[in-house]
């Protein structure tokens, strides 16, 4: 077996697997460990896929994606960014995960470095590792609202740096990068001739603040690789439909990779994606409102608990809770919370050192479950206050 594919990204999900097994066995466990929308895919999208299948759309598709779908994506991207993008600058992939993996393969190689602010999404380390390149992390500190400081990025640039990867809105913190930070990072990319990978899968789940795609900043279109998908925006995680938008040299390279890696995405799913991206779907507004309500409800319940502090997410479907006052490591706290209080949350260390001392709660469950979870979390904190010996066993 190769050593490039490895790392402990998968370990983070052990809490989820344990909780899911208990829930399946009939136990009352609240699972806030995963960001998989609990909404159904809008019916008209499902109907389109079924119609397409019944009509015989079961053959190989264009390797880089159906041309009509790529045009639709190009048009939407142009509208959102002010750029003038055409379908040749779009490659359809099986979800943003696949797109991230493929983009990394196209621009990184053994010996090169990519700068990624952390806390970061759990799969980044492994997808970079698979290229033989190295992740250089810079911290986004909780004290600073989990924002990245451009000077930290600048200090991390070396002669091996090839790229910077940004994820705004962020999984896990829900923080969005403001324009001045993006402008400063864009300047660094141009000064040091770097690629910018922009993972924007939560761009539509914002609670008011404007999402800014860095590719639209001056001088960035030719060096930005924008990645998005239908997973979160349309509650379509299981459909595996995402895409890359970038300069033609990059998308041609990606096309070569797609030829030996994917050979195209399923045709009937691409038909459904066209429907998703060209329809006015009231379900999407309802989903957004539900996430907002859940965020506000969970935040207000958690704020009443002495001894923890929570970060109000500006976007996305997660909320980070600072549990440092308990003295426990995030792993010990998450295990205690699951084993004795029946709530599954991901330990913050899974996202990088700046996530330590936090747990990540998902908003992808009904409001009643969030209220139940916050009561159990309060009981867990109270238990720790009354039994300091539990703290001694799980020191951070």
Name the minimum Å distance from CB 377 to ligand PMP: 23
Q: Which stretch binds ligand GLN (CB under 6 A): 28-36, 67-75, 284-292, 323-331?
A: 28-36
Q: What share of the chain is helix, strand, coil (3-state, %, to 5)?
A: 50, 15, 35
Angle at 382 between CA 31 and CA 312, to 5 degrees: 55
151-180 residues near ligand GLN, rule: CB under 6 A = 171
Closest to ligand GLN by CB, 34 or 384: 34
Q: Which stretch binds ligand GLN (CB under 6 A): 34-42, 71-79, 111-119, 324-332?
A: 34-42
* CB neighbour list of residue 181: distance below 8 Å, 6 or more residues apart: 147, 148, 150
Name the minimum Å distance from CB 151 to ligand GLN: 29
Asked if residue 32 lies in contact with residue 373, where contact means CB atoms within 8 angstroms, the answer is yes
Q: Does 350 bind ligand GLN (CB under 6 A)?
A: no
For residues 214 to 233, the per-residue mask of contacts with ligand GLN, x marking binding by CB under 6 A and - elsewhere, is --------------------
Give the burial class of 254: count Cβ atoms within 10 A of its Cβ; 0-12 exposed, 13-18 middle, 19 or more buried: buried
Asked if residue 93 lies in contact with residue 243, where contact means CB atoms within 8 angstroms, the answer is yes
Name the minimum Å distance from CB 316 to ligand PMP: 8
Q: Does 38 bind ligand GLN (CB under 6 A)?
A: no
Q: Which stretch binds ligand GLN (CB under 6 A): 33-41, 253-261, 276-284, 377-385?
A: 33-41
Q: Residue 196 binds which entry of ligand GLN, ligand PMP, none, with Cβ cut-offs from 5 to 8 Å by kind?
A: none
Please state whether the peptide bond connecting residue 298 to the residue before it is cis, i.e. omega within 30 degrees of 0. no
- What residues make contact with ligand PMP under the rule CB under 6 A? 35, 95-97, 121, 167, 171, 199, 201, 229, 231, 237, 242
H/E element, 48: helix 43-54
Closest to ligand PMP by CB, 93 or 133: 93
Q: Residue 34 binds which entry of ligand PMP, ligand GLN, none, with Cβ cut-offs from 5 to 8 Å by kind?
A: ligand GLN
H/E element, 180: helix 179-191
Q: Which of 36, 57, 75, 88 binds ligand GLN (CB under 6 A)?
A: 36
CA distance linking residue 257 with residue 198, whole number of Å: 20
Asked if residue 52 lies in contact with residue 271, where contact means CB atoms within 8 angstroms, the answer is yes
Kindly list the residues in this chain that would bind ligand GLN in the complex (CB under 6 A). Answer: 34-36, 171
């Amino acid at each position: 077996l190769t050593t490039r594919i490895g790392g402990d990204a998968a370990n983070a999900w052990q809490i989820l697997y344990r909780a899911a097994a208990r829930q399946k066995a009939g136990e009352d466990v609240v699972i806030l460990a995963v960001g998989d929308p609990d909404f159904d895919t809008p019916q008209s999208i499902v109907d389109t896929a079924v119609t397409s299948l019944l009509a015989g759309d079961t053959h190989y598709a264009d390797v880089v994606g159906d041309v009509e779908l790529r045009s639709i994506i190009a048009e939407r991207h142009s509208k959102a960014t002010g750029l003038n993008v055409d379908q040749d600058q779009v490659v359809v992939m099986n979800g943003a995960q696949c797109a991230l993996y493929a983009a990394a393969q196209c621009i990184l190689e053994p010996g090169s470095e990519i700068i990624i602010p952390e806390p970061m999404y759990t799969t980044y380390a492994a997808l970079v590792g698979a290229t033989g390149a190295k992740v250089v992390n810079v911290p986004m500190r909780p004290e600073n609202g989990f924002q990245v400081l451009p000077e930290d990025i600048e200090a991390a640039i070396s002669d091996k740096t090839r790229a910077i990867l940004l994820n705004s809105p962020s999984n896990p913190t829900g923080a969005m990068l403001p324009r001045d930070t993006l402008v400063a990072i864009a300047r660094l990319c141009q000064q040091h001739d770097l690629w910018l990978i922009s993972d924007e899968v939560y761009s539509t789940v914002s609670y008011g603040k404007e999402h800014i795609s860095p590719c639209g900043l001056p001088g960035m279109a030719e060096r930005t690789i924008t990645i998005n998908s239908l997973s979160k925006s349309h509650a379509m995680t299981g459909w595996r439909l995402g895409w890359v938008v970038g300069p033609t040299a990059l998308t041609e390279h990606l096309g070569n990779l797609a030829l030996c890696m994917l050979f195209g995405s399923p045709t009937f799913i691409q038909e459904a994606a066209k429907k998703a991206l060209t329809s006015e779907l009231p379900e999407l507004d309802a989903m957004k409102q539900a996430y907002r309500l859940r965020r506000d409800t969970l935040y207000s319940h958690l704020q009443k608990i002495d001894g923890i502090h929570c970060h109000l997410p500006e976007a996305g479907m997660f909320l980070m809770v600072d549990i440092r006052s308990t003295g426990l490591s995030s792993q010990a706290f998450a295990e205690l919370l699951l084993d004795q209080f029946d709530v599954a949350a991901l330990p913050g260390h899974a996202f990088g050192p700046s996530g330590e001392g936090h747990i990540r709660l998902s908003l992808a469950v009904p409001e009643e479950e969030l209220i139940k979870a916050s009561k159990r979390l309060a009981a867990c904190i109270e238990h720790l206050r009354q039994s300091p010996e539990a703290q001694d066993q799980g020191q951070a």
